[in-house]
Each structure stands twice: as structure tokens, then as C-alpha cells.
């Protein structure tokens, strides 16, 4: 099937991210639900989204989901926290009913919030990009469900570039992490949300700094469990999905650096196809 095409052959699950970090989430999803066909789209030519305005993030996200629906996706998971925070509500409530009323777009924030309100006793911490933190979406969702929880957040803009450089085990990254996490650790948060695609790569380091008293939530596993649960509750969507265990990976830029990241985060031999979203 060509990238421009869009035959009506069947239904895939689309996974969208601002770049390649969503591969970390997709890997967990495939581990849990290997039978389905997935189409990954990473807008790595325009990543990072984390410092961009809401308007730009919305426009990029709309282009991405439109592309994935044209590739026969029935259901799209926006794996990017920034796009989930800044664009998902409008996509679900305004764009989707007008354009693809029988298809679905889900984000990563709600399933993580549901876990956080179960795990959270007194204080929940959130780390994410500036976009995610400034949107206040996590705080609002948590406090709507469990107002007695105190919620603290910290933007960590240096973590994505450090992880993309493969520097997760270096002293520089540990120092940066300690600086970002200090206010959350001092406040004794009992639960910490990793509100960004890239942060599960730093899971051990983050858990090590926060200590055993803080439950660090692994967003990839949570999103995979929540998708399995969603498909169980929505047979009208599930029955439309192809089950050939075939995966396609689209990116908006391709270089040896991106190939290397894809192999590290998803697996050897990953084959990317370059497309244009504009
Ligand atoms: N995918 C983004 C997120 O989860 C991180 C990278 C970016 O800023 O685009 O928030």
C-alpha cells in the first residue's frame, strides 16, 4: 500500500509521536498485543514539539492523524504527551466528528492519570516537556478525579535531547535529573508520572534518585494495558482490526542517526519509510 493510497482493505492501529520516542510505547503495546497490524508515524522532521505553541502542535497533530486515517487506521493512539495535552481534546471533539465519525483517537494522559489516582496517596509528581506541564492537563485530570491529591509538576526540557544523544547513563544526565527531581523528592511525592515518551528510557535512573518510597509509573506498560482493555470493551472497533502482526514505520525525516535511534528503541532491522506531512 502506498503512503498516498488508503485502500479500504481493513483496519490498522496507528501510533503517532512527534518523533521516535513513541517507538518505546509501541514496543510495549506490541509486547501485549502482538496480533494486530500497526502503523507508526514519527514526525521527526519537526520534533521536538515540547516547546512549540498550542496552535502549531494542534496543526501538526491534525496532519498526522489525517495521514494515518488515510492509511486505513481505525484507531489512533497519540503516544506523544505534548500532542495529547495540547491537541487531543480538539481532535476528539471537533475534528473527528466532522471528518471520521466512526473512528477513534486516544491519548496517553487519561490511562496514566487513572493509574496515578489509584497509586497516589497524598502527593503526585509529574515530569514532562514544557508544553505538557504548561497545559496543566495532568493536574486538571487528576484533581477532577481525586481532589484531595496534591499535584506537583516539573518541566524537564533537557531530558529529550540527552536521551536522543544516547547519554542516559552519563554523569551529566544524572546531575540534570537530580536537579529536576529535587523539588519533587523534597516534597516527598509518593507517585511520579513520567509524562513524556522518552522518559521510560531513564526509568531506572529516575527510580534510583526518587527512592523506594516513590512509585514511578511506566507509561508504556500503562498505555498497552489500557489499549487491551479498550479493545475488550469496544468489539465494534476490535472486529475491524487486521490481525497479521504486520508493522509499518513512517517518518518525516530519515538519516543514519534516526535509523540508529529506531534500532536502539524498537529493534534491529526496523525499516522506515519517509513521507511528507504537509
Ligand atoms: N514526544 C514528546 C512527548 O512525549 C517528547 C518530544 C517532543 O518534545 O516532541 O511529550
User: How many folded domains does the chain comprise?
Assistant: 2
Average of per-residue pLDDT across 17-36: 97
- Is residue 278 very low, low, confident or very high in pLDDT (cuts 50, 70, 90)? confident
Q: Which of 219, 234, 265 is the last residue of a domain?
A: 219
CA distance 160 to 199: 8
194 shares a domain with 154: yes
Q: How many whole angstroms from 274 Cα to the centroid of ligand 1?
A: 20
Counting from 1 in the atom list of ligand 1, the atom nearest the Cα of 79 is: 4
Query: By the 8 A CB rule, do 10 and 75 touch?
Result: no
What range does the domain containing 61 cover?
12-107+221-274
- Is residue 33 very low, low, confident or very high in pLDDT (cuts 50, 70, 90)? very high
CA distance 200 to 21: 10
176 shares a domain with 48: no
| pLDDT above 90 (res 10) | no
The more confident residue out of 8 and 35 is 35
93 shares a domain with 226: yes
Average of per-residue pLDDT across 68-89: 97
187 shares a domain with 138: yes
Does residue 128 form part of some domain? yes
* Amino acid 2: pLDDT: 39
85 shares a domain with 37: yes
230 shares a domain with 160: no
- 150: β partners: 123
CA distance 216 to 40: 26
Q: Is the peptide bond before 84 cis (omega within 30 degrees of 0)?
A: no
Cβ of 249 below 6 Å from ligand 1: no
Cβ of 219 below 6 Å from ligand 1: no
Which CATH number is 239's domain given? 3.40.50.1860
pTM score, whole prediction: 0.94
User: How far are the Cα atoms of 12, 33, 51, 89, 274 from residue 3, in angstroms, in the given order?
Assistant: 14, 24, 29, 27, 9
pLDDT, tens only, 143-185: 999 999 999 999 999 999 999 899 999 999 999 999 999 999 9
Amino acid at each position: 500500500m502506498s503512503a498516498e493510497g488508503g485502500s479500504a482493505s481493513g483496519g490498522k492501529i496507528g501510533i503517532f509521536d512527534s518523533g521516535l520516542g513513541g517507538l518505546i510505547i509501541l514496543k510495549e503495546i506490541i509486547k501485549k498485543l502482538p496480533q494486530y497490524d500497526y502503523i507508526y508515524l514519527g514526525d521527526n522532521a519537526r520534533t521536538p514539539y515540547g516547546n512549540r505553541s498550542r496552535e502549531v502542535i494542534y496543526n501538526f497533530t491534525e496532519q498526522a492523524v489525517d495521514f494515518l486515517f488515510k492509511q486505513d487506521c481505525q484507531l489512533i493512539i497519540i503516544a506523544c504527551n505534548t500532542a495529547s495535552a495540547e491537541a487531543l481534546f480538539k481532535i476528539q471533539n471537533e475534528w473527528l466528528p466532522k471528518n471520521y465519525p466512526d473512528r477513534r483517537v486516544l491519548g496517553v494522559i487519561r490511562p496514566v492519570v487513572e493509574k496515578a489516582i489509584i497509586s497516589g496517596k497524598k502527593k503526585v509528581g509529574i515530569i514532562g516537556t514544557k508544553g505538557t506541564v504548561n497545559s496543566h492537563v495532568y493536574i486538571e485530570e487528576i484533581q477532577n478525579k481525586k481532589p484531595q491529591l496534591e499535584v506537583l509538576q516539573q518541566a524537564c526540557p533537557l531530558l529529550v535531547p540527552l536521551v536522543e544523544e544516547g547519554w542516559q547513563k552519563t554523569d551529566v544526565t544524572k546531575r540534570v535529573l537530580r536537579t529536576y527531581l529535587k523539588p519533587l523528592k523534597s516534597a516527598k511525592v509518593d507517585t511520579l508520572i513520567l509524562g513524556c515518551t522518552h522518559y521510560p528510557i531513564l526509568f531506572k535512573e529516575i527510580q534510583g534518585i526518587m527512592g523506594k518510597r516513590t512509585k514511578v509509573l511506566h507509561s508504556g506498560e500503562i498505555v498497552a494495558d489500557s489499549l487491551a482493555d479498550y479493545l475488550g470493551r469496544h468489539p465494534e472497533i476490535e472486529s475491524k482490526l487486521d490481525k497479521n502482526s504486520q508493522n509499518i514505520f513512517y517518518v518525516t525525516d530519515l538519516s543514519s542517526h534516526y535509523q540508529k535511534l529506531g534500532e536502539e528503541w524498537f529493534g534491529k532491522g526496523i525499516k522506515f519509510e519517509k513521507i511528507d506531512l504537509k
